[in-house]
């Protein structure tokens, strides 16, 4: 197998690190126990967390042992953000979100075998600590000058809002997590996003001061698009992994819309496709970009990874039905409602409305005269079936699963009709 650090570098998953050759030798010396932390500051992981989970999976496949830390304690604080102070969530909400994140992370790792993953919660060791315990046993090893020089702290101090002692202390708690995992599990490597570098090396320093041991950290880069802008916002907001916050159909469509300039890089980051297959797709992008083979592969692999093969089959069927002319009645109601959520829509009376009413009401045509001309020219469709009789009423028999009717003008102009 390719050296795991070489593999991560080729995939664009390695940014900063402690001594690279020492880390390479450490990983080659035998199974290494490593950890990555996830704070429950929302009800779901998003695509940024997915990068970290995939790094964990790569390391586990290479024989190393992952500790997935969900921050039941640090999630009640929140690491400092450039945009300003966080709103603190209640302990009950954080506990609920902690459980949800554990369930999401568990789907990506193996909890069996010699290097079985372990799920941990930093509330288990932080909760019982008193303020005196924290200050005496951990706080005395931190120098305020060093803490003030952390990039995000310095930026917040320079802002009008400043930074609270609560968020300023976050780096102490994260460093203590690494120390505890070193003591409890022999953990010697922490992975995370590049924005966590300052907090992560704080843990390395703490372990060195308290235990006299050398440990390692490595980070992934912040994922950006080819134009330098941050990757990962849809019209509805974040790219959530929870299907209740972002439907599998919307998730699939997001990846399907990735630009040609980005798709090969994202195939390396977000999938486990091997080099040979990615190189084949790179040729496809260069020679036949209109076929979007790489985007289809990216959308399929990431959707299957996050939502499973059954859900992938459903969203692909819905996509084919909406845009490829397949039978819409083969798509289940929930997927069809999700797939049509962002289309123009109108509400009409069932049994009293016609294709002309539908074209006009949904805005696909401006006026009844234009709608009639579209029908006469063969450009109007109801549920992918060409309509020839402009006066035929739309009835219950025309309703698809989910209670909707799909109206089409030409090949690509779609709208949805609901009925009173």
Retrieve residue 299's tokens.
Answer: 């959308």
Closest CA to 343 of 408, 256, 254, 255: 408
Q: CA-to-CA distance for 61 and 115, rounded, in angstroms?
A: 9
Q: pLDDT tens, 108-154?
A: 999 999 999 999 999 999 999 999 999 999 999 999 999 998 888 99
**9 annotated as a binding-site residue:** no
How far is the C-alpha of 271 from the C-alpha of 58, rounded, in Å?
Answer: 10
* Residue written as token pair 């050398």: 214
To the nearest 5 percent, what fractions of the chain are helix, strand and coil? 50, 15, 35
What are the Cα distances from residue 357, in Å, to 63, 274, 361, 382?
63, 52, 6, 12
Provide the pLDDT for residue 179.
98
The pair phi, psi for residue 390, each rounded to 5°, is -70, -15
SS3 415: strand
Express each pLDDT in 222-235 by its tens digit.
999 888 888 876 55
Spatial contact of 364 and 348, defined as CB atoms under 8 Å apart: no
The DSSP secondary-structure symbol of 13 reads: -
Contacting residues for 135 by C-beta, under 8 A, at least 6 apart:
none
Q: Tell me the DSSP string of 79-109.
A: ---TT-PPPPPPHHHHHHHHHHHHHHHHTTS
Q: Do residues 171 and 202 lie in contact, with contact meaning Cβ atoms separated by under 8 Å? A: yes
Structure-token pair, residue 277: 């297959």
Dist CA 66 CA 110 (whole Å): 9
Q: Tell me what pLDDT residue 325 has.
A: 66
User: What pLDDT digit, counting tens, does each position of 318-354 carry?
Assistant: 888 887 766 788 888 888 888 888 889 999 999 899 9
User: How crowded is the C-beta side of 348, counted as CA atoms within 13 Å?
Assistant: 27
170 is in an annotated binding site: yes
Element (H, E) at 152: helix 151-158
**What gap in Å lies between CA 158 and CA 343, rounded to an integer?**
45
C-alpha distances in angstroms, 81 versus 214, 246, 313? 29, 24, 39
pLDDT at 233: 66
| Phi, psi (degrees; rounded to nearest 5) at 66 | -90, 140
Residue 107, Cβ neighbours under 10 Å: how many? Answer: 12
Residue pLDDT tens, the chain, 420 long: 359 999 999 999 999 999 999 999 999 998 999 999 999 999 999 999 999 999 999 999 999 999 999 999 999 998 888 878 888 999 999 999 999 999 999 999 999 999 999 999 999 999 999 999 999 999 999 999 999 988 889 989 988 889 999 999 999 999 999 999 999 999 999 999 999 999 999 999 999 999 999 999 999 999 998 888 888 765 557 899 999 999 999 999 999 999 999 999 999 999 999 999 999 999 999 999 999 999 999 999 999 999 999 999 989 988 888 877 667 888 888 888 888 888 899 999 998 999 999 999 999 999 999 999 999 999 999 998 999 999 999 999 999 888 889 999 988 889 999 988
Which pLDDT score, from 0 to 100, does residue 235 have? 56
Whether residue 165 is annotated as binding a ligand: the answer is no
Distance CA 33, CA 117 (A): 9
35 annotated as a binding-site residue? yes
Per-residue pLDDT at 303: 98
Question: Residue 1's pLDDT is what?
Answer: 38
Domains, the chain: 4-220 (3.40.50.620), 248-340 (1.10.240.10), 345-419 (3.10.290.10)
């Amino acid at each position: 197998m390719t050296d795991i650090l070489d593999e991560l570098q080729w995939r664009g998953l390695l940014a900063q690190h402690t001594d690279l050759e020492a880390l390479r030798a450490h990983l080659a010396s035998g199974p290494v126990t490593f950890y990555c932390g996830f704070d429950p500051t929302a009800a779901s992981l998003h695509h940024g967390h997915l990068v970290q989970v995939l790094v964990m999976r790569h390391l586990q496949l290479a024989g190393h042992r992952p500790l997935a830390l969900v921050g039941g304690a640090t999630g009640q604080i929140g690491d400092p953000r450039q945009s300003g102070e966080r709103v603190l969530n209640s302990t009950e909400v954080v506990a609920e979100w902690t459980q949800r994140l554990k369930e999401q992370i568990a789907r990506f790792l193996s909890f069996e075998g010699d290097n079985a993953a372990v799920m941990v919660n930093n509330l288990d060791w932080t909760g019982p600590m008193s303020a005196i315990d924290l200050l005496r046993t951990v706080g005395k090893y931190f120098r305020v000058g060093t803490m003030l020089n952390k990039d995000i702290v310095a930026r917040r101090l320079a802002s009008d809002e400043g930074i609270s002692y609560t968020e300023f202390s976050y780096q102490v708690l994260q460093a203590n997590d690494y120390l505890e995992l070193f003591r409890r599990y022999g953990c010697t490597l922490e992975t995370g996003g590049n924005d966590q570098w300052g907090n992560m090396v704080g843990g390395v320093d703490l372990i060195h001061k308290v235990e006299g041991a050398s440990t390692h950290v490595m980070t992934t880069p912040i994922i950006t698009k080819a134009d330098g802008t941050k990757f990962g916002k849809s019209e509805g907001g974040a790219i959530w992994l929870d299907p209740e916050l972002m439907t599998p159909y919307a998730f699939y469509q997001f990846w399907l819309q990735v630009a040609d300039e980005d798709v090969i890089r994202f195939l390396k980051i977000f999938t486990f496709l091997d080099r040979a297959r990615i190189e084949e797709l790179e040729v496809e992008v260069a020679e036949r970009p209109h076929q979007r083979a790489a985007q289809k592969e990216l959308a399929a692999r990431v959707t299957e990874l996050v939502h499973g093969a059954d859900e992938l089959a459903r969203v692909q069927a819905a996509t084919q039905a909406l845009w490829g002319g397949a039978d819409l009645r083969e798509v289940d109601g929930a997927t069809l409602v999700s797939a049509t959520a962002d289309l123009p829509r109108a509400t009409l009376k069932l049994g009293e409305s016609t294709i002309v009413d539908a074209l006009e009401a949904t805005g696909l045509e401006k006026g009844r005269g234009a709608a009639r001309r579209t029908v006469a020219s063969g450009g109007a469709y109801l549920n992918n079936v060409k309509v020839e009789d402009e006066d035929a009423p739309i009835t219950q028999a025309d309703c698809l699963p989910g209670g909707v009717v799909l109206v089409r003008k030409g090949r690509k102009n779609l709208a949805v009709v609901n009925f009173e």
